[in-house]
């Protein structure tokens, strides 16, 4: 039986916007230190992030608010996350891709396993043309994006759609996501999973590879 690694996009494949504040400030012409919200890296100082984690607002709500805030700093009326991401990352999208991700998918491909992305907002947040600037996406057998399906994780139908397109049962796959609610959704459908730690991506990818029977660890 074949197996597959299923990845969220967001903080699993790319460095989070929290980690790249300095790059964003440079790209947007903002003074260093202007962007002080740190999400999972300092939740005690980010009340909006705590609201999102508590389920008071959605992840999309969180980023709508941050998008509007940053746009306002520039005198822009940004209403779409893709406007923020394109301005912050459009010049060098490859610069924010996690090296641990590249190493992991190289191992998966070498072993002949399948690759999939299961995202709630890949094109919504990044813009459809962003994909064209990331050649590695051609290595993925399946990309399921709720931007178009309208079925968001943790809805069981989102995971089922990905598994159906892969042609594999849940037990043959490992799902990786940095949001606890999406991990809970995977648990509910019996999908093996790794709760991705954005502060230690190498360990998270190593665990996923080991669960797929690929024992070589990634360096931190």
Q: What is the pLDDT of residue 1?
A: 61
What end-to-end distance do the CA atoms of the chain give, in Å? Answer: 31
Domain boundary among 66, 93, 120: 93
Residue (of 137, 191, 181, 184) closest to 159 by Cα position: 191
Degrees (nearest 5) of the Cα angle 50, 23, 16? 35
* Domain shared by 106 and 60, yes or no: no
Provide the domain count of the chain: 2
Per-run averaged pLDDT (10 residues), the chain, 220 residues: 92 94 94 96 96 92 96 95 86 83 96 97 80 88 94 96 98 96 96 97 96 76
Residue with tokens 């100082």: 45
Secondary element (H or E) of residue 142: strand 142-145
Q: Would you say 116 and 7 are in contact if contact means Cβ atoms under 8 Å apart?
A: yes
Give residue 216's pLDDT.
Answer: 65
Distances (CA, A) of 192 to 75, 152, 155, 163, 207: 45, 19, 16, 12, 11
Give which of 86, 96, 74 is closest to 19, Cα–Cα.
96
Please tell me whether residues 79 and 128 are part of one structural domain: no
In this structure, the answer to whether residues 87 and 114 fall within a common structural domain is: no
* Domain-embedded: residue 219: no
The answer on 181 and 74 residing in a single domain is: no
Q: Which of 38, 62, 93 is the last residue of a domain?
A: 93
Is the Cβ–Cβ distance between 191 and 170 less than 8 Å? yes
Position 217 scores a pLDDT of 66
- My answer on whether 120 and 57 are in the same domain is no
Domain-ending residue, one of 93, 110, 136: 93
171 and 112 in a single domain? The answer is: yes
Helix then strand then coil, % of the chain, to nearest 5: 55, 10, 35
Q: Please give the backbone phi and psi of residue 173, each rounded to the nearest 5 degrees, phi first.
A: -125, 160
Please tell me whether residues 103 and 192 are part of one structural domain.
yes
Residue 84: domain span: 21-93
Do 88 and 188 lie in a common domain? Answer: no
pLDDT the model gives residue 131: 79
The pLDDT value given to residue 38: 96
Domain membership of residue 218 (yes or no) is: no
Let me know if residue 170 belongs to a domain. Answer: yes
- CA torsion, points 170, 219, 132, 212, in degrees to nearest 10? -20
User: What is d(CA 103, CA 53) in angstroms, rounded to the nearest whole number?
Assistant: 30
> Is residue 129 in some structural domain?
yes
Are residues 115 and 28 located together in one domain of the fold? Answer: no
The pTM assigned to this predicted structure is 0.87
Q: Residue 216: inside a domain, yes or no? A: no
Both 162 and 191 in a single domain?
yes
101 and 87 co-located in one domain: no
Tell whether 56 and 157 lie within a shared domain: no
CB 81 within 8 A of CB 67: yes
pLDDT value of position 133: 79
- The tokens describing 94, both together, are 């490859």
Sheet holding 193-195, edge to edge: 142-145, 114-119, 4-7, 173-177, 193-195
Query: CA geometry: angle at 33 spanning 87 and 31, to 5°?
Result: 60
């Amino acid at each position: 039986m074949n197996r597959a690694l299923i990845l969220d996009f967001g903080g699993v494949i790319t460095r989070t916007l929290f980690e790249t504040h300095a790059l964003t400030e440079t790209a947007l012409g903002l003074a260093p230190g202007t962007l002080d919200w740190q999400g999972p890296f300092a939740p005690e100082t980010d009340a909006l992030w705590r609201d999102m984690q508590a389920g008071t607002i959605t992840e999309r709500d969180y980023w709508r608010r941050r998008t509007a805030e940053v746009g306002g700093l520039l005198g822009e009326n940004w209403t779409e996350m893709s406007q923020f991401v394109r301005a912050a990352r459009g010049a060098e999208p490859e610069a924010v891709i996690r090296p641990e991700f590249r190493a992991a998918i190289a191992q998966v491909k070498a072993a002949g396993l399948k690759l999939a992305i299961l995202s709630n907002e890949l094109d919504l947040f990044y813009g459809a043309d962003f994909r064209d600037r990331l050649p590695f996406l051609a290595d993925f057998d399946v990309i399921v994006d709720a931007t178009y399906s309208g079925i968001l994780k943790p809805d069981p139908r989102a995971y089922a759609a990905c598994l159906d397109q892969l042609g594999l049962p849940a037990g043959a796959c490992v799902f990786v996501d940095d949001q606890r609610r999406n991990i809970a959704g995977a648990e509910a459908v019996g999908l093996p999973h790794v709760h991705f730690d954005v502060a230690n991506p190498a360990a998270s990818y190593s665990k996923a590879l080991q669960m797929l029977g690929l024992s070589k660890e990634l360096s931190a």
